[in-house]
Amino acid sequence: MKFTINRELLLKPLQQVAGVVERRQTLPVLSNVLIEVADQQLAITGTDLELELVARLGLEGEVQGGETTVPARKLLDICKSLPAEADIRFEVEGERMVVRSGRSRFTLSTLPATEFPNLEEDIGGSVLEVAPDQLRRLIDSTAFSMAQQDVRYYLNGMLLELRKGRLRAVATDGHRLAMSDAEVDGITDETQVIVPRKGIMELARLLGDVSQPVRLVIGKNHARVVAGDVTFTSKLVDGKFPEYDRVVPREGQRRILADRETLRQALGRVAILSNEKYRGVRIQLSEASLRLQANNPEQEEAEEEVSVDYQGTELEIGFNVSYLLDVLNTLHGTEVQIQLGDNNSSAVLTDPNVAATLYVVMPMRL
């Protein structure tokens, strides 16, 4: 194998692929990236057995085909350290890969490409074309509500639900729920899959620089996104997602309209003196007013009052202040609408001008 490529062309795809590779691996080959050269094209693959990312680049000049694997982190660090616009020459010599650029020379150990695991080539299933900003919005709107290392493993990911003409993302950790819809043409099958947390985070990073429509493939065991010259594949979580429709309260009789930024700042200040473990904040609702209170075991207290658009009966209810702040930080509109039932009912938070996204936060006893 032999090829030459400009540092600037190689660095970004290599960074994307190396992001999937775990630093500590039980299998040594999983710390490597697979490098394949054929037909004037370079393919770089990284995997952790759950996710796989393949980046393809065109090559010019003298090229000899072949395949091998080299340490991902070391190769990335070498490319980062070389001068901008430098040409990098790669050549396999025996069981080593020699990397040359200018007066620099590096010799890397290799492992056989035959030891490198491959996820399914053809995952089948539903295929749809999605605008990257739509997919990015779905992820950005809901990802913060995914559970982390929950024993209910099916919560450690995001539900993607295909319905006719609509793609829905849902995430919950059992205490709060985020749901967002996007209108997508060409969906005929109805299906639900759970993409694991790491897959969602890597996909969000990948979509950050994509402008052209991406191809989303939902298979039985894998989900795949093809974005230009990059192919991302994730195993799916084998489990049943909760019936989230049951969690969303029907319209609460109390409807509050508040300035989002004013409420966000007030909650942020009250949170400073909330209990560090439970993060509780007490909300006292009365006509045109929302009073926020928090205290902690050191007998410290914080209190704020926010003017709101509300006419109705009084109510006192408690919430985890971090969950409310997460929602207010994710919403982008100037106002937030909060619907409440009684003091045991969950709150539904929405942007009154955006019907596609809603958030549910369960109350807590204080």
Q: DSSP states of 263-286 as a string?
A: HHHHHHHHHTTS-TTT-EEEEEEE
CATH topology agreement for domains 2-115 and 126-245: yes
Output the pTM of the full model: 0.92
Are 316 and 291 in contact by the 8 Å Cβ rule? The answer is no
Helices 321-330, 260-271: inter-axial angle, 10-degree rounding = 150
Query: Quick one: fold of 249-361?
Result: DNA Polymerase III; Chain A, domain 2 (3.10.150)
Report the C-alpha gap between 251 and 136 in whole angstroms. 28
Report the C-alpha gap between 3 and 60 in whole angstroms. 8
Q: What CATH class has 2-115?
A: alpha beta
The reported pLDDT for the residue numbered 209 is 84
Give the 3-state secondary structure of residue 164: coil
Give the 3-state secondary structure of residue 132: helix
Are 347 and 315 in contact by the 8 Å Cβ rule? The answer is no
Report the C-alpha gap between 287 and 300 in whole angstroms. 27
- CB 38: neighbour CB atoms within 10 A? 13
The reported pLDDT for the residue numbered 120 is 67
Question: Going residue by residue through the chain (366 aa), what tens digit of pLDDT does each one get?
Answer: 999 999 999 999 999 999 999 888 789 999 999 999 999 999 999 999 999 999 999 999 999 999 999 999 999 999 999 999 999 999 999 999 999 999 999 999 999 999 999 876 778 888 999 999 999 999 999 999 999 999 999 999 999 999 999 999 999 999 999 999 999 988 888 999 999 999 999 999 999 889 999 999 999 999 999 999 999 999 999 999 999 999 898 878 899 999 999 999 999 999 999 999 999 999 999 999 999 999 999 999 999 999 999 999 999 999 999 999 999 999 999 999 999 999 999 999 999 999 999 999 999 998
Residues forming beta bridges with residue 108, ordered by sequence position: 97
Task: Break the chain into its structural domains and give their ranges.
Answer: 2-115, 126-245, 249-361
Two tokens, residue 77? 């660090």
Query: Sign (positive/negative) of CA torsion 69, 72, 74, 77?
Result: positive
Residues forming beta bridges with residue 280, ordered by sequence position: 320
DSSP code at position 22:
-
CATH architecture of 126-245: Roll (3.10)
